Structure 1
Amino acid sequence: MIFELADPKQLEEPRRNLFSADAFTLVVGRNGAGKTHFLSGLASEVVKKKGAGIVRSQQGSGNEFVILYTSSPFPGIRPRSSSRIRRLGPTSPKAIVSQDLLRSISAAFSASGAAELKLRSDYKSGLRSLVASLFEIPLRLRGKLIESISSELKFYHDISMKWVKLSSSGDVQSASVAKLKMDAIQKEIHELVESDLKRSFPAAQYKLNLHSLDLAIKRNKKKQRDLVQSFLYFVDNRHSVDVNLHSAMDDIEMAIAEYGEKLLSGSVVKVRKNAVVVPNYEKGSALVFAMAGASSGESALFDQFAKIDREVQAVSGKDKELIILIDEGDAFLHFNWQQKYIKFLDAFVARIRHGFESVQVVLTTHSPILMSDVPSGNVIRFGEPGGPLCTFGAPLERIVSSTVGAGSIGDFAADKISEMIERKQYVDAYIVDQIDDRFIRAELRRLLWE
């Protein structure tokens, strides 16, 4: 099913469509014209059984799947993610760039970034969480480690109760002394726990276990005390290990087996060719994703297409009719990369097209460069009417003046030049020579010679 946003003549004769998508529409207009609202409204209407606000080329199948990506970090009026809509953006969970996608982006845009991974957990954070749990009053944790430092813990609890009483009574000087003693015993307990664990496990196992504890706590913050107790039982070689802690241990071990023990020290490792990284984008996974040496433009591209690709792969081959809505996907891109964006998006659609009944793309932009890649029959303009649509293969200055409805130079420069022409401002030969339009420069030089 195709939503009739483009020229109906293309639907009558598919060969007139230049794009890999069954339908491709570019939405343009000034800020505030309603482009973003249009995308969110379209997404909502698509999943309705009877969307009165849109025209469909045929009766809806009810099997449409919508991906709505926005490059903006600012909240807007957009539908929530559901079983049929995926709302994506800079703040949505990160996604791993597949090797194929990484290579294609790098080739198309001459990007230099490489995929990197590191553990989501931190063994030092795991140790801090364990020690912090020992300072709870009353202490309910049990284990041999607790027994080995029972005198230190008793002293801490006694001095902390004394500090509370002194603080309540207003005895600032005595409370300050008690606080210093509390800090000192806390540091001592931390060192004792660390030493005990290092004696109990080899170096790599010590870090792996604390990584596991930290990951389990990050996944289940409300169960921190139970997880710490389970960890203490694990140190004692007991078998009653919490299922969440056990799962975290398995995930950390799998990550280490795949990428090496360097991860245990907090190192970042490059994704190897053909490495298994598909599960790693999931929320709460053992690994987190980053791009090495990527510029803001590269990072934006990787983020955008990795997230879209993740959702595409999740529903590909399920007889879905895919609708990809992209709100200013060219944001953060240099002009040279904007020239390549439509071509890459078309190649991306060609790669995924076989997994769907149909694929429709709707893209918003302010860029005249993107407009030059799209026939006017595929363009919808919102807001105040300008001149006639002028897009495909047209020089940028014509697109700016007609389709965009804007001037060809900035207002600041235009005002200064006007002031000089009208002799409202001193006309200096140096300033005139800075003007790079030869016709304007010649006129101002004439004024200088009069």
Structure 2
Amino acid sequence: MRTRKPIKLGLSMRYLGYHAAAWRHPEADPGAASKLSHFLRIARTAEAAKFDMLFLADGIGLRTRDEPPGALCRSHQTAELEPLTLLSALAAVTSHIGLVSTASTTYNEPFHIARKWASLDHLSGGRAGWNIVTSWSEAEAWNFNRDQHMEYDARYERAAEFVEVVKGLWDSWEGDALVHDKASGIFFDQSKLHVLDHKGKHFKVRGPLTVARTPQGRPIMVQAGASEQGLEIAASSADVVYTASHRLEAARDYYADLKSRLAKHGREPDHLKVMPGVTYFVGRTQEEAQAKLDLLNNLVEPELGLSYLYGQMGDLSGYPLDGPVPEPKDPRLRSMARIGLEMARRENLTIRQLYTRIAAGFGGRVVVGTPESIVDDMEAWVDAGAADGFNICPPVLPMGLDDFVALVLPEMRRRGLFRTEYEGTTLRANLGVPVPGNRYAAAR
């Protein structure tokens, strides 16, 4: 057996799972996404299985639309908890697993993010991570005094400056600044507390941060953008990149491009972990796995299914669901419309088959198979230089997680591809990414 680097695993635990009909699964609790007990169960299962991190994507507006009419009331992508509050609660009942959540650079201020995530890193003993996003929908703009979302280039320009300000604030305190000398009455060494005094195009932030340097030096930073601006933010600052690649060849090209950018920032390729998102339907046989997918697909009402095609293909409610996919009319998302139509024509898919294909993983990559075939697929991606690990997006929670732990992890461990114990107590230690130096200490 060849020696390989262990595969990294994150667990996406948003909503009730990543299938559009997850809440209708016979064993699902439809109200679980608002219950702490649900997430406690998931967190404890994932930690016992030695996952690297829990991951909570987030949006700050109701982005699901009622297109066609009747779709919105059938969607479980509507009611959820604020992620940082939830992760703070989970920090108290876990000890090793990472705690990562999303926060927007468009609708927050750098000092808020720096303070909150530094606090979570202390409370969790070094397990916090921030997923950097710019937000994209008008639904979010409407909740923050805007009629329209910020223009694309301005959004990313703001994000790049935002990230640098947050990193600067996290360096406010050197690691040994707090001396706590009771005899002399000196609480901290004032020469090791630093004022950022940032003045830029988008932000004017004096500092210093009122939270001491964190156990990880700074929280893990996660990024998911595939744009040129997003790639540069990832190359300069991210420790993990969460991708949405469907095809191995495209994922390999993305991986190579991103890793090649690290050197100019003084970073090594292994300092950044690329972890594509994927939804697995796993069974002891191929037929059992397919049956799990079919069960959920049969619970997708047409109105909800058609909503997953609306942005790409327009309103298809007037066409036979079991007929061919028509040419899209004035699609809002032209590139996605082309990809969807090409897939439908190539595989001779009906409208119903196309929408269930997308609804099975909220548009992400879906793999249906046995433990052996799923681990074969993982190995193929890692060996091809397309991934360092995967962000697992179970179709339904907690059952999809239970299936992965019971069936896939033993096969990964049999092949030496996944840990049996955590390497350390911090998220950085378990991911194998370095602790960043403090800029002021380095300059001494």
The normalised TM-score by structure 2 is 0.25
Query: Which of the pair has more CA radius of gyration?
Result: 1
The normalised TM-score by structure 1 is 0.24
